[in-house]
Chains A and B, each alone.
Chain A
Amino acid sequence: MKFAVLAFPGSNCEKDSFYALKDVLEEDVTLVSYQAESLAGFDAVVVPGGFSYGDYLRSGALARFAPIIPALKGFAGAGKPVLGICNGFQILTEAGLLPGSLQKNTAGKFICRQQKLVVINAQTPFSSRYQAGQVITLPIAHGDGNYYADEETLQELEANGQIIFTYQDNPNGSVKNIAGITNQAGNVLGMMPHPERGVEEILGSADGIQLFQSLIDFFTADEVIVHE
């Protein structure tokens, strides 16, 4: 499976994602510059964490004007999997690929720690290796992780099964304890926790492996799991 990991000025998790996919999962992975204009030939795209464009204006707000974004929108529009992690999640909301937005943590500080998550929907290309209701541990590291969407959007997210992960103990004030959501089609996932940093026990958790393994299953399966 061919993964692209995007890198914007200020991204700082692209090499973590590259390492997880290349060295731990042993998949084909390429770092793709924000200046590229094509994602042809890739099977999945990771939009990594960091502080693209210094988080100036709003987190992710300036990255969405990078030259690679039209190709990313085309890739997502074609139903191919896109995973936005942390700042990648913020970029996907700003680019209009995911609903809602992320604002400052209610705790008034940057939070960096291992966090327990509940898997809400295990029938997606990103979560099929988990069980619904399973509690997993992944690291979080963010100042702007407080997910917000209006009531109408939240009802749609719930009705469509678009809430994939919630926090067990909400660290940042996110509505409905939301840690990760997909778009309506189910092929774009944005999440604040870092699965790419949870791929080896020595890192504190290896629960992130199943997320990437789910994607690989999705790609290699004869019968694809359709997100309902």
Chain B
Amino acid sequence: MTVVKIFVNYKDSILNPEAETIKKALGRLGYQNIAELKVGKSFELTLADGLTQEQIKSEVNEICDQMLVNYNMEKYRYEISETEVI
């Protein structure tokens, strides 16, 4: 089986209030060494067998364009891996 992990995060230029709030809360817990904290989303797609790498990349890019990513604020990357069927 092919597993695609997609990571969507805010662009570096965007201030993410959720991440800032978590960072401040960790600071209150005593974790003072965090220079930067990012919060994003991850998606894991398990794909049908028999697809070429080109087909997989094309479909994943299309899915991100269509729905998973808002390019006004976000960027994405993905990793493709093969898993053994148990």
Contact = CB atoms under 8 A, between A and B. Distances in A.
Partners in one complex: yes
B60 to A, nearest CB: 16
Binding site secondary structure of chain A: loop
Interface of A: 57-58, 61-62, 65, 93-94, 99-101, 103-108, 146, 148-150, 173
Contacts of A61: 67, 70
Interface in B58-80: 67-68, 70, 72-73
Contact of A100 (B15, B41, B67, B72): B72
Interface residues on B, range: 10 to 19
Contact of A101 (B17, B68, B72): B72
Question: Most A CB atoms within 10 A — which of B20, B21, B70?
Answer: B70
A105 B70 contact: no
B12 to A, nearest CB: 13
A108 B21 contact: yes
A65 B72 contact: no
17 contacts: A57-B41, A57-B67, A57-B68, A61-B67, A62-B67, A100-B72, A101-B70, A103-B17, A104-B16, A104-B17, A105-B17, A106-B15, A107-B17, A108-B17, A108-B20, A150-B72, A173-B17
Interface in B18-44: 18, 20-21, 41
A45 B41 CA distance: 33
A62 B70 CA distance: 12
